[in-house]
Amino acid sequence: MERGRVFSFASLTHRERGRFLYIALMEQFNRITHDPAVMGGKACIRGMRVTVGNVLEQLGTGRSIENLLVDFPYLEKEDVLEAIRYAAWK
């Protein structure tokens, strides 16, 4: 696919569609990473060993974002908010 060329999504091959969607996802969720060497490739926060699932479990037990940030000082509020957005998108 040439840069700057107007195209129809339907005209892309299956592989090109997958690459296009992956790039769009990574631009939207720049704090969420997937690395097979970290937590088995699960969705993690900024490459740390904290998964989106870990964050959601904590919130699901009734913990507030503020309490979560106190207990996990290496997380930022935007990390937690993006984990919620990612889970909703997924």
Q: Nearest-CA neighbor of 31 among 1, 65, 74?
A: 74
pLDDT score of 19: 73
| Whether pLDDT at 2 is above 90 | no
pLDDT score of 48: 96
pTM for the whole structure: 0.72
Note the CATH number of domain 31-89: 1.10.10.10
| Whether pLDDT at 16 is above 80 | no
Confidence category of residue 17, pLDDT binned at 50, 70, 90: confident
Q: Nearest-CA neighbor of 58 among 31, 80, 89, 88?
A: 80
Q: Where are the domains of the chain?
A: 31-89
- To which residue do tokens 């990473």 refer? 33
pLDDT tens by residue, 37-85:
999 999 999 999 999 999 999 999 999 999 999 999 999 999 999 999 9
Could you please report the per-residue DSSP string of 9-51? GGGS-HHHHHHHHHHHHHHH-TTEE--TTSGGG--EETTSS-B
